[in-house]
Amino acid sequence: MHIELSGLTASFRVPHMYKYHRSLPLPSYTTIVGIFGAAIGKDMQTSQELFKHFNLKVGVAGASKSRYNDTWRVLTTKNSERDVVEREILFKPRYHIIFYGEEKIIRFCEKYFKTPVYPISLGRPEDLANVVVHDAIEQEPEELKVLCNTVISGTPTIYVENTLFDVEDPTDLGPCTLLYRLPVNFKFKDGFSYERTADNYRDFTFIGNREVKIKNYVQGFQVAIENESNDKISFFSSGFLNIPLLEI
């Protein structure tokens, strides 16, 4: 199943960042599990258990138009004093997410994403998302080697062409890649779904907005996307998007 999420803002906090809440460029694996849970009307603990029971696999690609910092005053949990934090906000994000599994499970997901029980958000509850459910993909995963604006499991060897860098421009980041170690599972205290701790971590490599080649193929899907008009975000010029499945 292929769904498209878009909104005005998004924020996916990098774990263990306190004064400055940097955002991941794409929703993490656990965020996608939470999005699935909102659609079917379940809490995070139940959603996590169902996701594993259904043996669902996911992949995500996309980007945002820009990003900015927002200053927040928050009430800390340890004392009554107020603290100030900077939170990175992604502006006008658009994400394409693949859910892969048994046909009956995918039909179940398709039904709820068309009429979600709870609002779908992109990180924070106030970052509401528009959801478009595309036609189901009725093919098996294929081997992908050229990737852009996506995330893959692990730390792969990446080949970068020299032409992707402008050596005369010191601000040119080239095909930026970011490596984060993120949780993929939570433990819940006494079954209470709001009190949780990370149980398992994996490495994830986030690939920026220029195409790169990886040494070893990854399994995923190539999906066609419509040509986007000027008032939308144009990330992908080829009309096709490679979305690798995350190996969890």
Q: Which percentage of the chain shows pLDDT scores above 70?
A: 83
pLDDT band at 3 (very low <50, low <70, confident <90, very high): very high
**Cβ-defined contacts of 68-76 (< 8 Å, 24+):** none
Q: Is 166 helix (H, G, I), strand (E, B) or coil?
A: coil
How many domains does the chain fold into? 1
- What is the domain range of residue 149? 2-73+82-244
Question: Can you give the CATH number for the domain in which 193 is found?
Answer: 3.30.70
Distance from C-alpha of 134 to C-alpha of 169, rounded to nearest angstrom: 40
Q: Are 25 and 90 in contact (CB under 8 A)?
A: yes
The tens digit of pLDDT for each residue in 140-176 reads 999 999 999 999 999 888 776 655 566 566 666 566 7
Instruction: Report pLDDT for 76.
Output: 63
Q: Is 110 helix (H, G, I), strand (E, B) or coil?
A: helix
Characterize the bridge pairing of strands 212-224 and 142-147. antiparallel
Mean pLDDT of the chain: 85
The tens digit of pLDDT for each residue in 32-54 reads 999 999 999 999 999 999 999 99
Instruction: Report pLDDT for 230.
Output: 46
The tens digit of pLDDT for each residue in 117-141 reads 999 999 989 999 999 999 776 789 9
Q: Are 90 and 67 in contact (CB under 8 A)?
A: yes
Lowest mean pLDDT, pick from 11-20, 83-92, 158-167, 229-238: 229-238
Distance from C-alpha of 62 to C-alpha of 75, rounded to nearest angstrom: 33
Q: Are 122 and 27 in contact (CB under 8 A)?
A: yes
The tens digit of pLDDT for each residue in 72-120 reads 777 666 655 567 788 899 999 999 999 999 999 999 999 999 999 999 9
Between 239 and 183, the more confident residue is 183
Question: The whole model's pTM is what?
Answer: 0.87
